[in-house]
Amino acid sequence: MKKLQDKVALVTGSGRGIGQAIALKLAAEGARVVINDLDDEPAQETVAAIHATGSEAVACVGDVTATDFGERMVRVALENYGGIDIIVNNAGYPWDNVIQKMSDEQWQAMLDVHATAPFRILRAAADPIRAAVKAEKEAGQTVYRKVVNISSIAGVFGNAGQLGYSAGKAAVAGMTRALAKEWGRYHVNVNAVAFGYIKTRMTQEIEGEKTVTRVGENDVRMGIQPEFIDFMNRMIPLGRGGTVQEAAGAVYLFCLPESDYISGQVVLASGGLVI
């Protein structure tokens, strides 16, 4: 029996990068996964990769910041798999600037994607989870469910040039601790993983216009200056950035039955970097 056999997992931003690695990891351990991406093609690629391993997955394509997205993703899980066991709020991106150059739109976008979108998904999941817990209690069962929110070392320590991103990711930590207290009575473990430098397309070396990515209606520059990557590698005690598989492993730890007595925690997955 696999560790997550027949569990139903929702993973936002799982068409690429860290989110895709999380979805593949959970599926490899038996979970049935609802995949999300802003675009259909990467979402379907992840679904196909999971199907190729013999596991189950279905796509819920769309913008997590849409007002109805949380209810829609929860509905896809319930209609296809009949329940919710794991929620991983992973979708996000950096839209950086120093404060004097940061527009209201940039600021609000960072709060919307990193704080409001997870809030709406979790709010939409509240009634189905409460109903399932009531039925389990009447049957004399105790089932633990998992919420893993994705934060960043920028949300824990702050980072110059990332005021909006840092604020959004800090909100994730507060939301995690508050919901752990609200949902403890429902046997839901709510934790967060704060990533450091993980090697993805968002943290690749900047190469001119190649690092500009379209997010909704906006062109957002991704990537890191090569000298800063070198600096980070020197500062990280393990001497390197993490892989997406290692990032997924950190999330997976909070999805296991062995984590049933851990809740309200924000754990760094940063190779030992504390800034």
Residues near 262 by beta carbon (within 8 Å), at least 6 away in sequence: 189, 191, 254
Beta bridge partners of residue 266, listed in sequence order: 192
In angstroms, the CA 129 to CA 90 distance is 20
Measure CA 78 to chain center.
20
In the numeric block, the tokens 């056999």 are attached to 5
Sign of CA dihedral 153, 155, 159, 161: positive
Query: Is 197 annotated in the active site?
Result: no
For residues 59-79, one letter each, b for 16 or more C-beta atoms within 10 angstroms of the residue's C-beta and e for the rest, the string is bbbbbbbeeebbeebbebbee
The one catalytic residue among 81, 93, 144, 165: 165
Q: In the block, which residue shows the tokens 């754990």?
A: 267
Within 8-94, residue ranges assigned H as helices are 17-28, 40-52, 69-81
Mind telling me the catalytic residues? 165
